[in-house]
Amino acid sequence: MIDIKEIFKILPHRYPFLMVDKMLEIEDGVRARGLKNVTINEPFFQGHYPGNPIMPGAMMMEAMAQVGGIMIMASRKGEKLVPFLAGIEKFRFKKPVSPGDTIIFEVEMIGGRGNMGKVKGIAKVDGKVVAQGEMSFALFPEKE
């Protein structure tokens, strides 16, 4: 398990854009599970949608991408690289996500070579699929 302090060491994201609270498990460069506690304090809920807060699909994709980025970087320890989202494919949203939900993101490496990688991911709330799709990543040198 990786807590938020370790996530800060791996990803450059910070509030309000860090979307992963904890990593539940990682098999370096193979698969990973991460957790996001969705709260009413998320800044996007002010406008999406007043009176009926629903987590935007783009934010779910970003959270899944961050879980994928952590998984990829776990296998590249010591390298000064930053994972960038390079593509999104076959993404589907099945159910809305609301404040109070806990999303479990599961990602699995399905391809890659060099500084490129591709994962498939699934997001679940209470064991039910809320989103799924594939994402590509590119690793670029960290700017100092």
- 20 DSSP 8-state letter: -
Residue-level pLDDT at 111:
94
Residue-level pLDDT at 87:
96
Residue 17 carries which side chain, given as an amino acid letter?
Answer: F
Confidence of residue 140 (pLDDT cuts 50, 70, 90): very high
Confidence of residue 127 (pLDDT cuts 50, 70, 90): very high
Residue-level pLDDT at 142:
87
Q: Which residues contact 6 (CB under 8 A, 6 or more apart)?
A: 23
- Find the catalytic residue in 13, 31, 48, 118: 48
What does the pLDDT look like over 45-104, one tens digit per residue? 999 998 999 999 999 999 999 999 999 998 888 888 999 999 999 999 999 999 999 999
Q: Which residues contact 61 (CB under 8 A, 6 or more apart)?
A: 88, 91, 131, 133, 135
Q: Which fold has domain 4-141?
A: Thiol Ester Dehydrase; Chain A (3.10.129)
Is 48 assigned a catalytic role?
yes
Residue 107 near residue 119, CB atoms below 8 Å: yes
Output the average pLDDT for the chain. 94
Task: Tell me which of 3-7, 113-117, 121-125 is least confident.
Answer: 113-117
Write down the pTM of the prediction.
Answer: 0.94
Residue-level pLDDT at 77:
82
Residue-level pLDDT at 123:
98
Residue-level pLDDT at 101:
98
Q: How far apart (Å, rounded) are the C-alpha atoms in residues 39 and 56?
A: 13
Tell which residue, 114, 69, 64, has the closest CA to residue 89: 64
Residue-level pLDDT at 122:
98
Residue 144 has pLDDT above 80, yes or no: no
